[in-house]
Chain A
Amino acid sequence: MPDMSFGDAIRMALAEEMRRDPRVVLLGEDVAEAGTTFKVLKGLVDEFGCTRVIDTPISEPGFTGLAVGAAMAGMRPVVDIMFGDFLALIMDQVVNQAAKIHYMSGGKWKVPMVVRATMGASRRSAAQHSQSLHAWPSHIPGLKVAMPSTPYDAKGLLKAAIRDDNPVIIFEDKISYTKVKGPVPEDDYVVPLGVADIKRQGRDITLVATSSMVQVALGAAAMLEEIGIDAEIVDPRTTWPLDEKTLIESARKTSRAMVIDEGYFRYGVTGEIASVIAEGAFYDLDGPVRRLGARHVPIPFSPVLEDVTVPTERDVFDLARTMCNK
């Protein structure tokens, strides 16, 4: 099985689904000839033509609304939001339309659309192109939110999202596109939405990490191993549906839990997951559940400042060490 980059796994998933189902179409800015800013869609227009890989004007609300309608009419559109920060522009289309149609029509309408959005800092892209806003759609009933951390999960989750009959938002870490590589089967497989994955087995502490933070947690776990702390890394893979059972079981096993996420710390994904663990594993916890997330500031352009804004391997290592009393 060949190793493949995270970005190539995304492209593979889209190509497979487009071959399998002619209703699958891609819309977004620079998705066709340019293959997006991140070159993730490179070559798809050659295979599927410009009627299925559609370059749109720079109007996220416009083409996202178009996708909601197309989905209701039976298509399976995949919308490309170049920077997750632009989620702010499509909130009405996603939150008040896509998420509500199935419910308000008494199940008569479905909205089988996917929004692919990027996330992640440390690209020196400044405050408007560096945020991780996955907490927003996770808050809304009617939306599912996927956050792959490996090429394998990226392909499997995206295929599951496309096949889902209602809206799924999938967040792709910009740094991971080229930096994270791993084995990806050629087979037609899906990763079901709502099933967490244990990325590393361990005894002493549970590190719950999402998306980009899985790599950070793995790096920290290697450092922790050297001082005799055996960390378990749990990747929820979807913030909704959330695999609460796996999170709680791991925390009960290790008796310590930390949640690491690149989104803003305040009122974020870490708070929700920490409370799930605190409620479910309270009597087996040997200390409070701790959290790491982005600092409560606009992501700075200054590289020095940006690098201390989101959690690092060192941050995870230091906190885990304190929690394990070593």
Chain B
Amino acid sequence: MAVSVVMPALEMAQETGKLISWLKKEGEQVRKGDMLLEVETDKAVVEVEAAADGVLAGITAKPGDVIQVGRTIAWLLKAGESVPSDASTSAPTGRTTRISPKARKLAQEKGIDISRITGTGPGGEILAEDILRSAGTDLQVGPQTAEPSSIGRLMAERTTASWTTVPHFFVTRHVDAGALNEARARIVAGGTKATHTDLLVSAVARALKKHPRLNASWKESAVVVHDRVNIAIAMAVENAVVTAVIPDADTLDIWAIADIRAGLADRAQSGRLHPGDIKDGTFTISNLGMYGVDTFTAIIVPPQVAILAVGAIADRVVAVDGRPIVRPMLTLTLSCDHRVVDGARAAEFMRDLTALLAE
């Protein structure tokens, strides 16, 4: 029997997916398990496998289409089979937008989503004027409006929700990074491309084992303390940020952490993080040190209850034993959810983290 290819639900509560590309062509023989298409969800671009052997046929979605989860977008046919004609297998599509050829051309040139425009033509058609008005261009020059990507939109929603509902407070410590620098130099000399972030992941994971209250979630007015320590690392991607997760970081040595982190960074840069790469983080580290930032405060990623903001390591004059000396210094700022973590607990975590970094 012909097997339908449907837009998969890759995340809970996912309603639509955006088809990025077909990895096989119409009419091509496909084996079960072959990568068949790429789909962008709110969080990542994911490759989807073929569910059966067959010839790919009856493709009804093209790259860029946003498709309801569960809708049939193609078929895998065995020899002698044809694409079923029963239209009830696909979800109903919306009314087609009536738009003039000129307006369509203008919309494409200006990158305007016509589904957001109300036509003012005699029959409600979208006319060139509607596009120009929407673009706000015509003759005037002004700020340009850009549609956010899925990830960008999600970032906007999540940070707003966090900042407006989570009672944040911040704890800052200046840390001597001499030992950290030496440790990294030793590992790099051994042939592993470890970063300061890798060492911080390792230290934070160990500190969290001692302070499980910071490795927790606020869920429906209750505190859920996690037994696994999954450290999420904030990574900048185009016009947005993603948090990729190193699971069970407390059980990994520095070499394993460096290896996993490097893989995550590669996939994040190419927009190809797997769903598993971004789920179940329990604590986040955001490092802006490489940008020369001395200190900053980060927004907590719910349902996590804390995030560590890491600044740059820089030579500073500090007092040691009553004398001014120059030391490589690092500023760490912990953001905490006061519903779960109080100031004293945050301070104790920071004290222990500082001690671990001094080892």
Contact = CB atoms under 8 A, between A and B. Distances in A.
Interface stretch (A167-175, A264-272, A277-285): A277-285
B100 A325 contact: no
Given A255-B128, A325-B129, A283 B121 contact: no
Contact of B125 (A255, A284, A287): A287
A105 interface: no
Interface size class of B (residues with CB under 8 A): 10 to 19
A178 B31 CA distance: 82
A73 to B, nearest CB: 53
A286 B128 CA distance: 6
Interface in B123-137: 125, 127-129
B173 interface: no
A237 B122 CA distance: 32
A283 B102 contact: yes
A325 B128 contact: no
Interface string B290-315: 00000000000000000000000000
A282 B122 CA distance: 19
Nearest to A322: B122
Contact of B127 (A284, A286, A322): A286
A255 B100 CA distance: 10
Contacts of A285: 100-102
B210 interface: no
A325 B102 contact: no
B127 A283 contact: no
A288 B129 CA distance: 16
B97 interface: no
A286 B100 contact: yes
Interface in B15-50: none
B120 interface: yes
Contacts of B129: 286, 325
Interface string A269-309: 00000000000001111110000000000000000000000
B193 interface: no
A226 to B, nearest CB: 20
Contacts of A284: 101-102, 105
A287 B101 CA distance: 8
A286 B122 contact: no
A285 B125 CA distance: 13
A322 B122 CA distance: 7
Interface centre among A284, A286, A287 (most CB of B within 10 A): A286
A285 to B, nearest CB: 5
Contacts of B128: 255, 286
B99 to A, nearest CB: 10
Contacts of B122: 287, 322-323, 325
Contacts of A323: 122
Interface string B102-113: 110100000000
Given A322-B122, A325-B127, A286 B105 contact: no
Contacts of A322: 122
A96 B148 CA distance: 68
A325 B120 CA distance: 8
A286 B103 contact: yes
B11 to A, nearest CB: 40
A287 B120 contact: no
A287 B127 contact: yes
Nearest to B125: A287
B102 A286 contact: yes
Interface in A211-239: none
B48 to A, nearest CB: 35
A230 B154 CA distance: 47
Nearest to A287: B100
Select the residue from B101, B122, B125, B128 with max chain A CB neighbours within 10 A.
B101
B259 to A, nearest CB: 53
A322 B102 CA distance: 17
Contacts of A287: 100, 121-122, 125, 127
Interface in A233-259: 255
Contacts of B105: 283-284
Contacts of B102: 255, 283-286
A29 to B, nearest CB: 49
A236 B103 CA distance: 28
Nearest to A252: B102
A126 to B, nearest CB: 37
A282 B103 CA distance: 11
B269 to A, nearest CB: 38
A286 B105 CA distance: 10
A323 B103 CA distance: 14
Closest 7 CB pairs of A and B: A286-B100, A286-B102, A286-B128, A283-B101, A255-B102, A284-B102, A283-B105
Interface of A: 255, 282-287, 322-323, 325
Given A286-B129, A322-B122, A325-B122, 6 more contacts: A255-B102, A284-B101, A285-B101, A285-B102, A287-B127, A325-B127
24 contacts: A255-B102, A255-B128, A283-B102, A283-B105, A284-B102, A284-B105, A285-B100, A285-B101, A285-B102, A286-B101, A286-B102, A286-B103, A286-B128, A286-B129, A287-B100, A287-B121, A287-B122, A287-B127, A322-B122, A323-B122, A325-B120, A325-B121, A325-B122, A325-B129
